[in-house]
Amino acid sequence: MQAKAEDFFFSGLNQAGDTNNDVKSNVTTVNVDQIPGLNTMGISLVRIDYAPYGKNPPHTHPRATEILVLLEGTLYVGFVSSNQDNNRLFAKMLYPGDVFVFPIGMIHFQVNMGKTPAVAFAGLSSQNAGVITIADTVFGSTPPINPEILAQAFKLDVNVVKDLEAKFKN
């Protein structure tokens, strides 16, 4: 089947994602699922919207480095390096036009520090970067991870873990 221009095209990133949710942020992903022409190309794109005080909570991309540019608002961003680098926090306040890089696999987050919405775009070095939201993955998996395991790992009472697993249950 012959490729056509539409196979390299997507529309709609001018529209803010719906931030009416728990974290008050929204990621709109444009990867190989939306654009077949990205197959084998090693790149994709996202738009991220943040309501006032909205957060993109700690997460990783298992197959991509992310380069983010802030278009509107004020964003506090950071990633934590791996154990070998002593889990150092690399953080920065971003203003419009600022760019920040989150290296592949590192846990990172963004927080809207202002009273107005924030908007960012980001490129990712994979046609299918993947997202692992830490809290949802650890406390909200299906089925849940044994609470004893998490209680010890996170130094939490087992009942607190059970409570978290109930809250994060899909």
Query: Should residue 116 be labelled a site residue for its own copies when binding is judged by CB under 8 A?
Result: no
Q: Of 1, 20, 84, 115, which lies in the binding site for its own copies, with binding defined by CB under 8 A?
A: 84
Binding of its own copies at residue 82 (CB under 8 A)?
yes
User: Is 61 marked as a binding-site residue?
Assistant: yes
Rounded CA separation 128/41 (Å): 10
Q: Is 169 in the site for its own copies (CB under 8 A)?
A: no
Binding of its own copies by 61 (CB under 8 A): yes
The number of beta carbons lying within 10 Å of the beta carbon of residue 160 is: 13
35 binds its own copies (CB under 8 A): yes
From CA 55, how far away is CA 69, in angstroms rounded?
16
| b/e map 29-46, b = 16+ CB within 10 Å | bbbbeebebbeeeeebbb
Counting contacts by CB under 8 A, is residue 20 touching its own copies?
no
Longest CA span, the chain: 59
Q: What angle do CA 125, 37, 97 make, to 5 degrees?
A: 45
| Contact residue for its own copies among 19, 44, 74, 112 (CB under 8 A) | 44
Residue 48: CB minimum distance to its own copies, A:
12
* Binding status of residue 107 toward its own copies by CB under 8 A: yes
Which residues carry a binding-site annotation for oxalate? 56, 61, 66
